[in-house]
Amino acid sequence: MDLTWSPAEEAFRAEARGWLEANVPRGLPSGDTREGFTAHLEWERKLFADRWAVVSWPERYGGRDASLWEWLIFEEEYYRAGAPQRVTQNGIFLLAPTVFEFGTAEQQDEILPRMAAAEQLWGQGWSEPGAGSDLAAISSRADKVDGGWRINGQKTWTTRGAFCTHLFGLFRTDPEASRHAGLTYLLVPLDTPGVTVRGFGRLDGDEGFAEVFFDDVVVPDSAVLGGVGQGWSVAMATTGSERGLTLRSPGRFLAAAERLRRLAVERAGSLTASARDGVVEAHLRAEAYQLFTLAQVTDLVEGRTPGAESSLNKLYWSELDIALHETALELLGPEAELDGPWSRGHMFSLSGPIYAGTNEIQRSIVAERLLGLPRR
């Protein structure tokens, strides 16, 4: 693997760094609050206006036709600059790769430009009250009607669902089929008659989570992504993005490890051996994740898909995130309760082993599909 950047890639980095340093907003409230979400949308639309929202997408959809390498460079510079969380991430980082792979030309032309411009805001309709980590256990139904599908059921834990305009999710279209068959991936505007979105608060005060109820909601046949009955295969492509490099690029953790190092320097007088080791380990693990990601991108560029290896990504970054924040809280000591960014980051990191498929499920996938161990 060649770990050097070409002159063109270095020029791309310089342009991205200059633009971010001149434009990144400071002090935005959480994007998971109604006020914060509105403020973050202004930032998202500024990114789009200057063609930084989706750098690796084709120009006709608002991108720059940048390579995957340049996308990694942009992500690294984005987090280095301390730029805000991407409130459009469920669409841009999860749904969009699936639309590129499985969508019709009409779906791509309809969805992708509006997604990039933060006009369509997408929530993920996976979990249900009786189907959390076991995605194949979903019971929400979509029954065939003339020209479309009638949906009934409920989705829960829909991130930023209270603020979104659209939802993508799995629905059971053949209840007689086996668990993983008979599922169809549907794209649903949340202003469709019969849809009820009910937001609910979290312990940290954020209010973006929502339950979504479907009561005889009718969507057209064009709402099907990837074919009727093919929902499981299509959803696995989305979960690969969710667990892999698109949702959690290494730039996020490189920047966090650097912030942790600066915090350790500020508190050098009271630095314990345990905290010192935690800081060093955070840097080592963040750089290891970067190298692993570079290897994955090499595979993608050369036509090899990661498959089950995305579960390794998810295990690694979710556990790194917790360890990194625990070290920060150790450095802060009693002041940790008063430090907003690190304490809130720690609370969020604790959800990492749960969302995008629990780490217990990911370990089973790694054991069976990568190590070849028996199911029992």
- Tens of pLDDT, residues 116-130: 999 999 999 999 998
pLDDT tens-digit profile of 314-339? Answer: 999 999 999 999 999 999 988 887 76
Q: Mean pLDDT throughout 12-21? A: 98
Beta strand 210-220 pairing with 195-199 = antiparallel
Q: Mean pLDDT throughout 138-162? A: 95
Compute CA 234 distance to the chain's CA centroid, rounded to the nearest angstrom.
16
- In whole angstroms, what is the distance from residue 31 CA to residue 205 CA? 12
Beta strand 141-145 pairing with 148-158 = antiparallel
Specify the CATH superfamily of domain 7-87: Acyl-CoA dehydrogenase/oxidase, N-terminal domain (1.10.540.10)
**Domain segments of the chain: what residues?**
7-87, 122-229, 244-370
Q: For residue 246, give the nearest of 305, 293, 286 by alpha carbon.
A: 293
176 flagged as catalytic: no
pLDDT tens-digit profile of 45-88? Answer: 999 999 999 999 999 999 999 999 999 999 999 999 999 999 99
More confident residue, 309 or 49: 49
Neighbours of 201 (CB within 10 A): 13
Dihedral sign, Cα of residue 255, residue 256, residue 261, residue 264: positive
More confident residue, 333 or 1: 333
More confident residue, 1 or 4: 4
DSSP string, 151-219: EEEEEEEETTTTT-SEEEEEEES-TTS-TTSSEEEEEEETTSTTEEEEE---TTS----EEEEEEEEEE
- In whole angstroms, what is the distance from residue 114 CA to residue 306 CA? 28
Which pLDDT does position 205 carry in this prediction? Answer: 67
Residues in the chain, how many? Answer: 376
- In whole angstroms, what is the distance from residue 222 CA to residue 185 CA? 11
Judge: domain 244-370, CATH 3.10.20.30.
no
CATH number assigned to the domain covering 122-229: 2.40.110.10
Instruction: Enumerate residues 6+ apart whose C-beta is below 8 A from 274.
Output: 330
DSSP type of residue 343 = H
Looking at every residue in the chain, the average pLDDT score rounds to 92
Which pLDDT does position 304 carry in this prediction? Answer: 84
Give the amino acid at 271: L
Neighbours of 338 (CB within 10 A): 9
Which pLDDT does position 228 carry in this prediction? Answer: 97
Given 242, 281, 302, 335, which residue is catalytic? 242
Q: Mean pLDDT throughout 292-314? A: 85
Name the strand (E) or helix (H) holding 144: strand 141-145
Q: Mean pLDDT throughout 137-162? A: 95
- In whole angstroms, what is the distance from residue 285 CA to residue 332 CA? 21
Which pLDDT does position 376 carry in this prediction? Answer: 78
- In whole angstroms, what is the distance from residue 342 CA to residue 374 CA? 41
| Local structure of 274: helix, strand or coil | helix
Q: In Å, what is the CA distance from 211 to each residue of 128, 159, 200, 323? A: 9, 9, 8, 31
Residue found by looking up tokens 């809280």 in the block: 329
- In whole angstroms, what is the distance from residue 257 CA to residue 263 CA? 10
Percent pLDDT > 90 in the chain is 72
Which pLDDT does position 146 carry in this prediction? Answer: 97
